[in-house]
Amino acid sequence: MDDFVVKQPILIFPAGMPRALEFLDRVLGEGRDVIGASSLARDPSRERYPAWLYLPYITAPEFNDALKQVLADFNIGRIYTPNPVVWDCLNRVLKEFAPGISLVNSSPIDAELSSYRTEQQFGQFVIEQPICLASAYEAKPVMSPIEIAVGIEAFTHRNNHTRRYPKTEQVDPIKYEIALVAVNQAA
């Protein structure tokens, strides 16, 4: 990222969501200029921001023009949004009328699903491992990678375990055992 973009303010919209406030704390700690924006007339998060403005709802006919005006008036360099619907809208409209301005974050939906997708890959890895059984019959997986992923996600959330996302050649032994137990208990 070049120096010019770093010196331009970041617009956070909608600014009152919990992830927006986490991002605000991080970028303020880095000494970045930040402007918060909301479509609410009285957003309680307004007090946390050094600068604030109002933007209409993305479904309002005047949203695009209002956004263009904000981008120009405040020399916005990038935009952060934790809202998946707003992210999708901005991802489309910025390409049309502000191609030099980018979104700071990737899709919030992708971010939310990334751990699940990793667990699903891990489930596939577990299924592909041979299970040593004293049996004349070949072992067959009784759970799909999706079922294993859901089980691991539920277990880690319920027990507040810190997640580690191993590559297939470096597997977290606790996670592997949990998945094997789940597969074997379902049999």
- Give exposure, 7-41, as e/b (b: 16+ Cβ within 10 Å): ebbbbbbbbbbebbbebbeebeeeebbbbbbbbee
Q: Report the percentage of the chain scoring pLDDT > 90.
A: 50
What pLDDT does 3 receive?
46
Q: Where are the domains of the chain?
A: 3-105, 109-186
Q: Has residue 165 got a pLDDT over 60?
A: no
Per CATH, the number for 3-105 is 3.40.50.20
* Backbone phi and psi for residue 54, each to the nearest 5 degrees, phi listed first: -105, 135
Q: Provide, rounded to the nearest whole percent, the portion of the chain with pLDDT above 70.
A: 66
Positive or negative, the CA dihedral 35, 36, 42, 43 is negative
Q: What is the pLDDT of residues 137-163, one digit of tens each?
A: 666 656 677 777 777 666 665 555 444
Looking at residue 104, its pLDDT comes to 93
Cis peptide, bond prior to residue 61, ω within 30 of zero: no
pLDDT in the model for residue 107: 86
pLDDT at 132 over 70: no
Contact 8, 33 (CB under 8 A): yes
Q: Say how many CA atoms lie within 13 Å of 15 toward its Cβ.
A: 28
